[in-house]
Amino acid sequence: MKFIDEATIYVEAGRGGRGCVSFRREKFVPRGGPDGGDGGKGGDVIIAGKRDLASLRDFKYKRNYKAQDGKAGAGKNKTGREGTDTIINVPLGTVVYDLDASTLLFHILRDGETRVAAAGGRGGRGNTRFISPTHRAPTEYDPGDEGERRNLRLDLKLLADIGLVGHPNAGKSTLISRLTEARPKVGDYPFTTLTPSLGVLDSGDRTFVIADIPGIIEGASKGRGLGLAFLKHIERTGTLLLVLDLSSEDVKEDYETLLRELESYDGAMLEKKRLVVLNKSDLVTEAAIRRWRSFMKKRDEDAVVVSALTRRGIDGLVAVISTGVEAAKQGLGTKGAV
């Protein structure tokens, strides 16, 4: 199933109801004056955040949304009923743009958060509103205003506390399955992960959302491989776990490539708090492990050695993540121990 993180939709708010032209016609009330009521306001189109949604897939099948028009006013100064709002649910992290004006409208970041994407038209005035000392029997009225109409672009940027970043086959999918209840597809070939996977790490008194981002390769920030399509999902993660394969032919180059691609996409990526995870320790010697620990220390990088396959170091990694991410949430520094 294809992961959909971009969509375009058309939204149209309801038109305001027509104002009423009416005059009192009651027994024993001669010369009854105007009593036409106002029209009801048109319904709004509202974007609402919903935690249960994970992609913009629904908008592949439905692209047009219209709110209900307001009802016309009536005699006896009765105001018309307001049009019913149309509510569009989107995943948390959705950015909404006005496609025609090329402007950002708003972000949806919290469950239940609502924003008006298109406002309903104002209801028209009934003839009662046009009374004046010199105009006692008006027949004027307003037809009601049109509702706003917009072409919108929806852009999903996943919300997660932690983003797993690494080359294809670095073991990120296996690692997230060890840390959380997520069950991504795992295989012994590059680009096993074709869509971002989300999992929840429960460390006892705290929970953290982890996103497994598809593999990044040299040139990802310029469109090579799958990286460009998903690098944006790292933008909102508070902490990065750089996952390196210790059995790789060139661990140093893998590490430096990740940093280059993150910086090339957005320099602010390197300001995020991060931790290097040296994975697949079961495939190398202890001497090699010590060598790469020393290398990371010289680069002022905090590193944890694990084997996602055999579960070596997983408990220690959970402890480091738990204390470090909490510190990051409180704004205690950027790069450093996680």
Backbone angles phi, psi at 229, to 5 degrees: -65, -25
Average pLDDT, stretch 27-53?
88
Beta-sheet pairing, 6-12 with 149-156? antiparallel
**Beta partners for residue 220, in sequence order:** none
Look at the chain and report how many structural domains it folds into. Answer: 2
The answer to whether residue 338 is domain-embedded is no
Same domain membership, residue 68 and residue 121: yes
- Within this chain, do residues 175 and 50 fall inside the same structural domain, yes or no? no
The verdict on 254 and 206 lying in the same domain is yes
Domain limits for position 282? 162-329
Residues 152, 192, single domain; the answer is no
Q: Do 67 and 86 reside in the same domain of the chain?
A: yes
Q: What confidence tier does 292 reach under pLDDT thresholds 50, 70, 90? A: very high
What token pair was written down for 45?
Answer: 């189109």
Residues in the chain: 338
113 and 151 belong to one structural domain: yes
pLDDT by residue (tens digit) across 68-111? 999 999 999 999 999 999 999 998 889 999 999 999 999 998 99
Residue 337 CA, chain-centre distance (Å), reads 27
Residues 6 or more apart in contact with residue 174 via CB below 8 angstroms:
186, 308, 309
* 14 and 113 share one domain: yes
Q: In the numeric block, which tokens belong to residue 209?
A: 């959302």
Instruction: Please give the Cα distance from 272 to 238 (Å, whole number).
Output: 7
Domain boundary among 102, 137, 156: 156
Q: Is residue 337 part of a domain?
A: no
At 205, is the pLDDT very low, low, confident or very high (cuts 50, 70, 90)? low
Over 50: is that where the pLDDT of 222 sits?
no
Same domain for 168 and 125: no
Structure tokens at 28: 């024993």
The number of beta carbons lying within 10 Å of the beta carbon of residue 274 is 28
Of all residues in the chain, what percent carry a pLDDT higher than 70?
Answer: 83
pLDDT of residue 229 exceeding 70, the answer is no
* Phi, psi of 155, deg, nearest 5: -130, 115
